[in-house]
A and B are shown apart, each in its own frame.
Chain A
């Protein structure tokens, strides 16, 4: 067992967690940053247990069952159920949008800031 191969990892810092929060599009208060840093670091300690296994000749598993494609006929819904049904489905989907205009989701400016 290659226990000796793994060197101790660097502990998480508040800077690390601030960067991760930024990537995950979350804002943290200073108190949350401190608290989450300790908690997340403790979870990463669990990963040390994984070093006890020799994985050299073992392929990774992303999924427990052999993945295969499931195909359905590639037919526009208008052809299947008529144009009005397609329209209805679109409106149902849009109905959940926080802000909708002209059959589209509306968001604040992507570049710059709202006036």
Chain B
């Protein structure tokens, strides 16, 4: 596979930066300054970052340059600036989840992914905006105000990892980390014309990721190119003693498989999520997924249509399960050990006042929904039933993956939409209809830019794969990337 030095955007790729810095051809400080100058020029308008850590980043870049000068191997991401979604803990650096309740919280430890990036030579440039506690699909739910889509500032960048997507799309960093509970990496990647990966549940440690829905959350990369996403994935993936849900086995690296092609790969067009029979899908989006299947067939893949009937129930099951887990996870914000505290005459009143002042509307809705779905008398009808549907989905996908290696669908039903266009919660939830099934099954999925839709905005195509099926997923992604150019 040919390695271009720059993405379609014209910004340098992470792979190119790491090669140049590692070889001593470019200094990490110079690379960093180039990116920080774009932040300075544009981020007042884009608002991708909650916090830019310029000073720490400069120190870190200088350390890398010194190590390169001393002849040391500084790692596969040598000098690569990276933006971090502000729901991953960074020691000594505020981690807010874009919520008033954590506005002033400074974590005493690093998330495992941060330590791994550090050991790989990456340079964290800042913490990016998100929908409060990652609940949303547009960043409009951030307590600190929304992020703008760099491709069209009148539109959202998607969410909840919208700040990370915008930071990469605007050239503030070649790569970023997001988290994906129902599509929060893949949908903003699609809306900003980027590659976004939701790894197999357990492939990347969640230690230090502020929990939203623990059985669905997973950290992954956003990047301009498939090769950059693979390089970051290889660094952050792997088992971790600090996360009891991390998969305790060696994972295959993705960078070596990118040039393998798709000869003989069995590709299924996922009928229920194709959008063909769903009115909310834009025609260009439906067409892009069909074109992607054609492109894979042209490259030697065997393409057929396939049905997963329960996939349509994903959205319903998700909105019982995710809020239930969230209501439990967010019980810890009580004004006692960290975060916002409001005065109250007794402990209970203090807790109520703190939570009421600290959480935004969407977070309150989901906490209440989850509390209801878990409460006596309703458990079986809502949360319990959704857990059974989850099993049905896993079984149906497992059966399909006996005959197929990867599946194809659109990522998002529409291109980037205007601010306020989906003010009704249900309308917003529906945006995640294609991405949610992979979170419920735990299976990996990624979005790759493939053509343009309405208003010339980018369209994302989703590639889904079975548990730990990332290699085939990345192989297909590399072919789609090449065909799209």
Contacts and interface: CB of A to CB of B under 8 A. Distances in A.
A114 B371 CA distance: 29
B368 A20 contact: yes
Contacts of B327: 24
Contacts of A99: 341
A102 interface: no
Contacts of A4: none
B269 interface: no
The listed residue with most B CB atoms (<10 A of its CB), out of A17, A48, A108, A111, is A108
B394 A40 contact: no
Contacts of A47: 316, 319-320, 381-382, 385-386
Contacts of A96: 105-106, 108, 337-339
A64 B201 CA distance: 7
B338 A49 contact: no
B291 interface: no
B192 to A, nearest CB: 27
A26 B352 contact: yes
Interface residues of B, number: 74
Nearest to B391: A61
A98 B335 contact: yes
Interface string A4-37: 0000010010001100110111111000100010
Contact of B346 (A25, A97, A109): A109
A65 B201 contact: yes
B108 A110 contact: no
Nearest to A17: B368
Contact of A36 (B105, B248, B353, B365): B365
A51 to B, nearest CB: 8
Contacts of B381: 9, 47
7 contacts: A39-B365, A42-B425, A50-B385, A58-B388, A60-B391, A99-B341, A108-B347
Interface of B: 105-106, 108, 201-202, 215, 241, 243-248, 310, 312-313, 315-317, 319-320, 327, 334-341, 343-353, 355-356, 359, 361, 364-365, 367-369, 371-372, 375, 381-382, 384-392, 394-395, 425-426, 429, 440-443, 467
Among all A-B residue pairs, the 7 with the closest Cβ atoms: A64-B442, A60-B387, A98-B341, A55-B388, A96-B338, A92-B108, A113-B345
Given A26-B368, A64-B215, 11 more contacts: A20-B372, A24-B368, A26-B356, A43-B369, A48-B316, A49-B316, A50-B317, A50-B386, A61-B390, A62-B387, A108-B344
